[in-house]
């Protein structure tokens, strides 16, 4: 089964014929019931990251419950569509980017399932190369970039924005962590597909980022963006062959994965 976790403004993926599944986990309930439908030959489980009515801010999303619930349903590969700001004028609103690196600037988020047992996962390359290759093979998609993930829910100051850009980061987001590392701990392939909604405050000196503008830009691009995610899923092989994301080979875990 393929998973899709929709970001801000991306609250549905299927029509009314999709079945709805409620899942409980050791980490509480996920952001919303999961809907399951078909995309081509693939069975797909969709979960809105912020809830169906955007109930969860970036720092309150139940990330551990979300990822655990998807794996318990049989999901092993996940696309994570998300809204991002751009830290370079080369990537304007409407650009679609598949990042290859992330930098964590969040704090206090529950970001592991392994509070005991001395389990350490490799995270040098945080995104699944197989899923990335599938998505970047689509027309107009930008291959690569570093996404810095900030705590939120506020946007960056101009000084922070210029600082991030000066480090060579290209995208800024509030939800990409710990989602990616939790997927790795659960041995699920994961790749973000980022839709640029704005130039960040330090890049566009004439304006400041406003939530209403971000949501409007995301909504304006939503039909095309959903179509792109469908096409990425269609390009996937029926069977998962990736071994890059099998983080626990040769390691005894303190509990069984779902």
Active site residues: 198, 200
What does residue 166 show for φ and ψ, rounded to 5 degrees? -65, -25
Sign of dihedral through CA atoms 162, 107, 213, 223?
positive
174 known ligand binder: yes
182 known ligand binder: no
The structure tokens 């040098």 sit at 124
Cα separation, 80 vs 237, whole angstroms: 18
Q: How far is CA 79 from the centre of its chain?
A: 7
Cα separation, 108 vs 111, whole angstroms: 9
Write out the two tokens for 195.
């839709």
8 known ligand binder: yes
213 known ligand binder: no
204 known ligand binder: no
198 known ligand binder: yes
112 known ligand binder: no
Residue 138 to residues 145, 146, 239, Cα–Cα distance (Å): 16, 20, 20
Cα separation, 58 vs 51, whole angstroms: 11
134 known ligand binder: no
Q: Which residues are annotated as a binding site for substrate?
A: 174, 198-200
Q: Which residues are annotated as a binding site?
A: 8, 49-50, 174-175, 198-200
Q: Which residues are annotated as a binding site for phosphate?
A: 8, 49-50, 175
């Amino acid at each position: 089964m393929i998973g899709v976790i929709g970001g801000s403004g991306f609250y549905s993926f299927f029509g009314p014929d999709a079945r709805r599944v409620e899942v409980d986990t050791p980490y509480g309930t996920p952001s919303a019931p999961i809907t399951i439908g078909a995309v081509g030959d693939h069975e797909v489980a969709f979960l809105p990251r912020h809830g169906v009515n955007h109930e969860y801010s970036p720092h309150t999303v139940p990330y551990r419950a979300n990822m655990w619930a998807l794996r318990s349903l049989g999901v092993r590969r996940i696309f994570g569509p998300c809204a991002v700001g751009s830290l370079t004028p080369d990537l304007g609103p409407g650009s679609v980017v598949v990042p290859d690196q992330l930098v964590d600037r969040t704090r206090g988020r529950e970001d592991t399932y392994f509070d005991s047992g001395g389990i350490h996962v490799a995270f040098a390359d945080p995104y699944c190369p197989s899923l990335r290759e599938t998505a970047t093979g689509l027309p107009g998609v930008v291959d690569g970039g570093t996404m810095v993930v900030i705590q939120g829910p506020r946007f960056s100051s101009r000084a922070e924005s210029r600082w991030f850009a000066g480090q060579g980061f290209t995208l800024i987001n509030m939800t990409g962590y710990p989602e990616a590392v939790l997927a790795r701990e659960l041995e699920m392939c994961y790749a973000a597909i980022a839709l640029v909604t704005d130039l960040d405050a330090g890049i566009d000196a004439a304006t400041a980022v406003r939530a209403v503008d971000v949501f409007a830009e995301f909504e304006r691009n939503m039909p095309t963006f959903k179509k792109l995610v469908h096409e990425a899923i269609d390009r996937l092989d029926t069977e998962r062959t990736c071994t890059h994301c099998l983080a626990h080979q040769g390691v005894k875990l303190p509990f069984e994965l779902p």
